[in-house]
Amino acid sequence: MNKAEIVFVLARAKNGVIGRDGDLPWRIPADLKHFKALTQGAPMLMGRKTFESLPGLLPGRRHIVLTRDRAWRADGAEVVHDVAAAITAAGDSDRLSVVGGAEIYALLLPHADRIELTEIDDAPEGDTVVPPFDPARWREDAREVHPAADGRPGFAFLTLRRQ
């Protein structure tokens, strides 16, 4: 069995904010479409709060939830309690999409192979932050810039690979 490629999928504002009150602090339809395209057909790993913030189960993806709460259960969620079990749960999948939140990104960072980052050209208030990724460890392989439009901030899709 080969190890799945571990891919972070996240949107982060220039001040590091990724969330506010369990939701995104912006509405960018192109980013939601990008998220869907990146995660479709692969297991997604997330924390309990991220799972509970979803509008429901996202079709075409397994939902693996990493939580310390040994009693927590939810329909459609595969529950794991540590990083090793989370990685093992990906099974023979080509990739494991790590989709949040901040604690999950921090726990999985040493294992990540690639980061699919949407950089939001804004600095909204928020309560969930992910620090910048160390450029000594991550190289930018691709960048697709989208200017501000329709009252929404500009953003860029980046692919970072572990050096």
What is the signed CA dihedral for 143, 120, 135, 132, rounded to 10 degrees?
Answer: -160
Q: Which residues of the chain have pLDDT under 50?
A: none
pLDDT number for residue 124:
97
pLDDT number for residue 83:
97
pLDDT number for residue 154:
98
Q: Each residue of 64-75: pLDDT tens digit?
A: 999 999 999 999
pLDDT number for residue 144:
98
pLDDT number for residue 3:
83
Beta strands in 14-154 (DSSP E): 17-19, 44-47, 63-66, 77-80, 95-98, 114-120, 128-129, 138-146
Does the bond joining 101 to the residue before it have cis omega, within 30 degrees of 0? yes
pLDDT number for residue 1:
54
Q: DSSP string spanning 120-160? A: ES-----SEE-PPP-TTTEEEEEEEEE--BTTBPPEEEEEE
β-strands 114-120, 77-80 pairing: unpaired
Domain annotation for the chain: domains and CATH numbers? 5-162 (3.40.430.10)
